Amino acid sequence: MIKFFRQIRQKLIMENKTANYLKYAIGEIVLVVIGILIALQINNWNEDRKTNLEERRALLNIQSDFSKNKELLNDLIATTKGSMDAGMKILNYTGSNAKPQTEDEFNELLNSLFDHDPYYPQNGFLDDLLNSGKLGIFKNVELRNLLSSWKPNLEILNEKFDSGVYGENLLNSFIIENGSWLNADQITNVKRNVVLPKSGFDIDNRSLLMISEFENLIENHVIGSDNYLIEQKKSLALIDDILELISKEIEVE
């Protein structure tokens, strides 16, 4: 092709057709420019295609992780509610209120109190994006902002968990000093390698219900569990917002 154009130029020059040559030269320049623009456009299209494919893979990975995070968080919410409900039932038995009919019934509530679990979400892919500075791969600004707020949100959630652990440790120490975990552990559903005997001491854990300090510790536990539950629900709402935006982005693509 280049040889063909060169031959045309030489012929025009030899025939001394300057005007035609200038027109031809301009036309050739235009063709070259058009060729360059087309090449750039193709290159840009290829780059955009690669970027879109990379974004889609990222969206699918984040969607998978946060779907699992939602499942884990729903389980945690159920556990926290169970622990808080056990505390509320115990508060209705303290002092002059009627007591559980059996110690076993009360011991079940004691065991349920300590279902205070941490939250371990799957953040591997999001951490990689944040650490590599590639969160900008997502074109949706709102999605980027929500993902950026996930880690700070988890920090608050962990603070509430740690606060609850502190109260739980105080309550555990009080039961150790004034009750019998050996009696309480008789009715757990946990499969153990040993069969625990009943306490050799004449202790009925329902006696804890007559101690005002125990009531205060249970009340603190309920409040701590509720604070933890509030942050869990905020985290769940954030997950739902993230998953909703991701679904919309995937549909668009």
Domain count, the chain: 1
Question: Do 225 and 87 meet the contact criterion of CB atoms below 8 Å apart?
Answer: yes
Q: What share of the chain has pLDDT > 70, as a percent?
A: 79
**Within-domain flag for 198:** yes
**Within-domain flag for 119:** yes
State pLDDT tens for residues 110-132: 999 998 899 999 999 999 999 99
Domain that holds residue 123: 70-252
Q: How far apart are CA 43 and CA 48, in angstroms?
A: 9
SS3 state at 92:
coil
Q: How far apart are CA 109 and CA 88, in angstroms?
A: 10
**Within-domain flag for 112:** yes
**Within-domain flag for 241:** yes
State pLDDT tens for residues 32-69: 667 666 666 665 665 555 667 889 999 999 999 999 99
